[in-house]
């Protein structure tokens, strides 16, 4: 009778390499591809802008997140999400998703005062859709 050790054996794929080596190999290939694109000057600095412009996300007013009060932002997002045909979820989900996307992508570059305004806009947006806690 043959007994096996507990644990997962290093399964090999068609390439004949264990998973860790395949991962390292793929990671190295990805880094090489990125380095080549940087050398060619094809640096994707504004990928989040590209996502907002070309994705299947809803259409929003230009620069709504940069200017305006929390109420204006919430009202604009509600208007945009209810009118838009380019959304996958409910209007509330789309509006909240777009607001969170902007906050997350701005990251540390977002001033505290603006972040506070956008957090207030989240509360106003929930109220506008009747989802206040």
CB-neighbour burial class of residue 130 (10 A; exposed 0-12, middle 13-18, buried 19+): exposed
How far, in Å, CA of 71 to CA of 120, rounded? 8
H or E element in which residue 48 lies:
helix 47-54
Of 70, 65, 30, 67, the closest CA to residue 48 belongs to 65
Query: Mean pLDDT per segment of 10 residues, for the chain of length 133 residues?
Result: 57 65 73 71 65 66 83 92 84 91 88 93 95 77
Q: Tell me, what's the pLDDT at 4?
A: 55
Domain ranges of the chain: 16-44, 47-128
- Which residue shows structure tokens 């395949």? 22
How far, in Å, CA of 15 to CA of 8, rounded? 19
């Amino acid at each position: 009778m043959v007994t096996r050790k507990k644990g997962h054996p290093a399964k090999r794929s068609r390439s004949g390499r264990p998973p860790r080596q395949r991962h390292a190999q793929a990671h190295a290939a990805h880094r090489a591809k990125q380095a080549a694109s940087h050398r060619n000057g094809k640096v994707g600095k504004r990928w989040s802008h590209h996502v907002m412009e070309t994705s299947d996300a809803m259409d929003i007013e230009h620069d709504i997140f940069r200017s305006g009060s929390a109420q204006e932002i919430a009202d604009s997002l509600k208007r945009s999400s209810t009118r838009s045909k380019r959304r996958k979820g409910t209007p509330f989900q789309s509006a909240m998703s777009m607001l969170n996307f902007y906050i997350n992508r701005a990251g540390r570059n977002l001033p505290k005062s603006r972040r506070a305004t956008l957090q207030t806009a989240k509360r106003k947006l929930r109220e506008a859709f009747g989802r206040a806690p």
